Amino acid sequence: MKLLLKMFIKKILSFIICFFYKVDKDWVLFISFDGRQYSDNPRAISEELHRQNRDIKIFWLLNNISDRSEIPSYVNIIKNTFFNRMKYFAKSFCIVSNERFSNDFFKRKNQFIVQTWHGDRSFKKVLFDDETTKKSKQQIWDGKVVDLAISGSKFGTSVYRSAFHYYGEILECGSPRNDCLIENSLDKVNLIKRKIGINKSTKILLFAPTFRDKMLKAQDVNFNISQAISILEEQTGSKWVSLIRAHSASKGIVLPEDSDKCVDVSHYYDMSDLLLISDLLITDYSSSSFDIILKGTPVIIFAKDEKEYEASSRSFKVRPEDSGFLCVFNETELDDVLSRFNEIDWQKYNKKVFANYGIIETGRASKKTSENILQFRAKNW
């Protein structure tokens, strides 16, 4: 009852704010991971939209407004507060997000709402698909306010229908954040490596675990990463380093004490850059695995705590072992796979994932989405 009352009050305040501000035909508002990052699909669309039309005013809601070192100068950074959200939601003709829209804002006439969901392909159930979230289904508002959803797979399209209860237009052109993975520019790879401080000839193992409810403070590395690096160096004859990336919803990651080849990149602003430069991804149930295979990179799903994870955090829509990826369940199996790294037909596994999920990635998702936004603007103003 308290939750419903709180949402009702927010909705009323949002409605009142609309009397003070008109919708501006040049304003587009972006928000990624509830204001935690300048990243993901909204970032890719934001940058492409600016390239297509310099008259558009780009606004970003961010929790941290002090560091704009990676954010272009044309971006107007807005502190992510309740009032600012209401104000800029009311004034912007287009709002782009990669998380669900909750029932706390009043959608206006001539507004275009774009949902770019960050987990187009995944293992886990979300929102209405997940029995544990059905009790708070009144907060899931996308089916009523979204005008365009962006999908990169047949699986992603089905998730919009079942998990969001969204039955509107879906643009099946790919996830905008993945355009750079399809382009796979060597110049950009070398630039990102220099930025992080890695030699361009060094191979990169990226470890990126998904979020767990019990790890709100910090996540752990649950295998011997030093040993993994040693095996890879012996097998490939190349120098390797490990980048470790905590989930954006956690407070960071605990680095192993015995490794001098680990770099914590949890605060690096965009996961797409890290996927672009990596030569191997080890993860558990993160949707990043479905992105990195677009450039043919090997993926190992380390499902060490599969049963515990399903019991305590999220249930699976597709079990890891049924996804098509190469799956291991303990460190012995992991070391065995790494010791055969050059012998494994990684593309065989990647092709299975493509087929199982019906992946549709064109490399033009940012362009297509931006064109849709500008077409709406031209038609309505």
Render pLDDT for 33-76 as a digit per residue (tens, 0 to 9): 999 999 999 999 999 999 999 999 999 999 999 888 889 999 99
> Is the pLDDT assigned to residue 254 strictly greater than 70?
no
Using CA atoms, how far apart are residues 73 and 59, in angstroms rounded to an integer? 11
62-71, 80-89, 127-136, 325-334: least confident range = 127-136
Can you state the angle between helices 82-91 and 2-17, rounded to 10 degrees? 50
186-357 to CATH, choices 3.40.50.12580, 3.90.920.20, 3.40.50.720, 3.30.470.10: 3.40.50.12580
Can you state the angle between helices 154-163 and 346-357, rounded to 10 degrees? 40
Average pLDDT of span 340-356: 96
- Token pair for residue 30? 């972006």
The per-residue pLDDT for 269 is 80
Q: Is 149 left (phi over 0), alpha (psi -120 to 50) or beta?
A: beta
Q: Regarding predicted confidence, which is higher, 151 or 310?
A: 151
What kind of architecture, by CATH, is found in domain 2-175+362-380?
3-Layer(aba) Sandwich (3.40)
Using CA atoms, how far apart are residues 154 and 167, in angstroms rounded to an integer? 14
The length of the chain, given as a count of residues: 381
The per-residue pLDDT for 223 is 78
- Quote the strand ranges of the chain, DSSP E: 24-31, 57-62, 75-79, 92-97, 112-115, 148-151, 169-172, 203-207, 219-220, 240-244, 253-254, 262-264, 280-283, 299-302, 326-328
In 3D space, the residue among 13, 14, 28, 15 whose CA is nearest the CA of residue 114 turns out to be 28
Using CA atoms, how far apart are residues 229 and 241, in angstroms rounded to an integer? 7
What are the structural domain ranges in the chain?
2-175+362-380, 186-357
What is the percent of the chain with per-residue pLDDT over 90, rounded to a whole number? 66
Residue 110: phi and psi, rounded to 5, are 65, 25
Using CA atoms, how far apart are residues 205 and 259, in angstroms rounded to an integer? 13
The per-residue pLDDT for 69 is 84
Q: Are 353 and 321 in contact (CB under 8 A)?
A: no
**Sign of the CA dihedral running 157, 158, 163, 165:** positive
Q: Are 337 and 137 in contact (CB under 8 A)?
A: no
pLDDT category at 249 given cuts 50, 70, 90 is low
Render pLDDT for 10-23 as a digit per residue (tens, 0 to 9): 767 776 777 678 99
Please list, in sequence order, all residues whose beta carbon lies within 8 angstroms of the beta carbon of residue 220, skipping any fewer than 6 positions away: 253, 254
pLDDT category at 135 given cuts 50, 70, 90 is very low
The per-residue pLDDT for 17 is 74
Average pLDDT of span 306-330: 88
**Sign of the CA dihedral running 149, 151, 154, 158:** negative
Q: Are 267 and 246 in contact (CB under 8 A)?
A: no
pLDDT category at 258 given cuts 50, 70, 90 is low
Helix (H/G/I), strand (E/B), else coil: 105: coil
Domains 2-175+362-380 and 186-357 share a fold: yes
